[in-house]
């Protein structure tokens, strides 16, 4: 297990600065855009600690196909339901209008698992991407997708000529802990398969995954996970601290120190990832455009520490 630092309390490096001035105005504007278009965000549903930072910069990670997931992973705050309502037909248009109103240049769209749908929701996700691209073609799009229950035909229809810069799917944790942390329908091998196939289908776009630390993993576990991701030709990696959403979820086992995150980032870089964002407050979609820019060797947002 990685070094523990008082798992029953948050370490000193978990300090969130609330927005003020112009940032507060952008935060209010983002909140209004989300509410007016009746959209869901992973920022709210997953209780992300970076919500004030991101919304204060006018960015949000939208969550489509509903606000409840068909799976019940032990780390996730998103509500679980066996048969959710059908995806809203006008959601693609509402999403496009919100992104246009917010003046974004890059947007991350994430999804809930829809095991109740034959294609895992792939056709709805594609409609969302196409509508946003039609409305604001200059906006770079990143899709943080489910594993589609391993449905490779659905994945192919989703990715075929899709207007994407990044296809992301999170393995969430290491292989050894996956049965304990994720829903039984989600396996480490299935996640790797989806990432590998996505790269084969669209070698022109970057692929990305994320791992949470503090669930009881060892450094050896992490290196094995990095290896599996690189064998699937994953380009981008994020590493962040797991925080339990509340009682009844998987407990926080450890709080690796910031220098541990730095060391792991350099290990991952040596293994061939194009860019890595690694730190206690990093989340899979946090300042995603900066990670893409770093992978391309471009100037990046200095607010995010990236190894590239």
Mean pLDDT of 174-203: 97
61 three-state secondary structure: strand
127 three-state secondary structure: helix
The pLDDT of residue 246 is 85
Q: Would residue 72 count as lying in a domain?
A: yes
pLDDT in tens, 20-36: 455 565 555 555 655 56
DSSP assignment of 155-212, as one string?
Answer: HHHHHTT---SEEE---BS-GGGHHHHS-TT--HHHHHHHHHHHHHH-TTSEEEEEEE
DSSP assignment of 210-267, as one string?
Answer: EEEESSS--HHHHHHHHHHHHHTT--EEEEEE----STTSPPP-----HHHHHHHHHH
What percentage of the chain has pLDDT greater than the value 70? 79
Domain that holds residue 205: 22-307
Q: Would residue 58 count as lying in a domain?
A: yes
Q: Tokens in use for 307?
A: 């190894």
Q: Would residue 62 count as lying in a domain?
A: yes
289 or 145: whose pLDDT is higher? Answer: 145
Mean pLDDT of 151-158: 98
Structural contact between residues 53 and 15, judged by C-beta atoms closer than 8 angstroms: no
Mean pLDDT of 127-150: 95
Q: Would residue 280 count as lying in a domain?
A: yes
Q: How many domains does the chain have?
A: 1
The pLDDT of residue 42 is 47
- What mean pLDDT value characterizes the chain? 85
Q: Would residue 13 count as lying in a domain?
A: no
How far is residue 250's CA from residue 233's CA, in Å, rounded to a whole number?
30
**Is the pLDDT score of 278 beyond 80?**
yes
The pLDDT of residue 221 is 98
Q: Tokens in use for 235?
A: 């380009």
Q: Would residue 274 count as lying in a domain?
A: yes
The pLDDT of residue 300 is 64
The pLDDT of residue 17 is 54
How far is residue 197's CA from residue 23's CA, in Å, rounded to a whole number?
40
How far is residue 289's CA from residue 108's CA, in Å, rounded to a whole number?
9
Mean pLDDT of 218-229: 98
The pLDDT of residue 72 is 92
pLDDT band at 4 (very low <50, low <70, confident <90, very high): low
Find the CATH number of the domain harbouring 111. Answer: 3.20.20.70
The pLDDT of residue 58 is 47
3-state DSSP helix/strand/coil % of the chain, to nearest 5: 40, 15, 45
Among 45-54, 272-281, 290-299, the range scoring the smallest mean pLDDT is 45-54
How far is residue 295's CA from residue 235's CA, in Å, rounded to a whole number?
8
Structural contact between residues 143 and 121, judged by C-beta atoms closer than 8 angstroms: no
How far is residue 304's CA from residue 306's CA, in Å, rounded to a whole number?
6
Mean pLDDT of 46-62: 55
**Is the pLDDT score of 46 beyond 50?**
no
Q: Would residue 6 count as lying in a domain?
A: no
pLDDT in tens, 86-126: 999 999 999 998 888 878 888 889 899 999 999 999 999 99
Out of 27-31, 220-224, 247-251, the most confident range is 220-224
Q: Would residue 4 count as lying in a domain?
A: no
């Amino acid at each position: 297990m990685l070094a523990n630092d008082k798992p029953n309390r948050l370490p000193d490096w978990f300090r969130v600065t609330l927005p003020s001035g112009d940032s507060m105005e952008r935060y209010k504007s983002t909140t209004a855009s989300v509410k007016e278009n009746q959209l869901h965000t992973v920022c709210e549903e997953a209780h992300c600690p970076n919500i004030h930072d991101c919304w204060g910069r006018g960015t949000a990670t939208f969550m489509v196909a509903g606000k409840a997931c068909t799976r019940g992973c032990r780390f996730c705050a998103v509500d679980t339901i066996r048969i959710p309502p059908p995806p809203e037909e006008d959601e693609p248009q509402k999403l496009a209008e919100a992104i246009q109103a917010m003046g974004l240049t890059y947007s991350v769209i994430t999804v809930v698992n829809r095991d109740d749908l034959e294609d895992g929701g792939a056709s709805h996700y594609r409609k969302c991407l196409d509508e946003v691209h039609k409305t604001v073609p200059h906006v770079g799009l990143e899709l943080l997708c489910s594993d589609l229950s391993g449905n490779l035909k659905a994945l192919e229809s989703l990715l075929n000529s899709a207007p994407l810069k990044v296809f992301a799917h999170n393995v969430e944790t290491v292989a050894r802990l996956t049965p304990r942390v994720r829903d039984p329908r989600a396996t480490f091998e299935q996640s790797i398969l989806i990432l590998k196939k996505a790269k084969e289908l669209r070698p022109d776009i970057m692929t990305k995954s994320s791992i949470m630390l503090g669930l009881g993993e060892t450094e050896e576990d992490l290196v094995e996970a990095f290896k599996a991701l690189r064998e699937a030709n994953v380009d981008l990696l994020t590493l962040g601290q797991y925080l339990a959403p509340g009682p009844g979820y998987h407990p926080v086992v450890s709080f690796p120190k910031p220098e541990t995150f730095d060391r792991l980032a350099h290990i991952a870089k040596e293994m061939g990832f194009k860019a890595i964002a690694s730190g206690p407050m990093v989340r899979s979609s946090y300042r995603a455009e900066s990670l893409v820019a770093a992978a391309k060797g471009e100037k990046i947002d200095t607010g995010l520490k990236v190894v590239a």
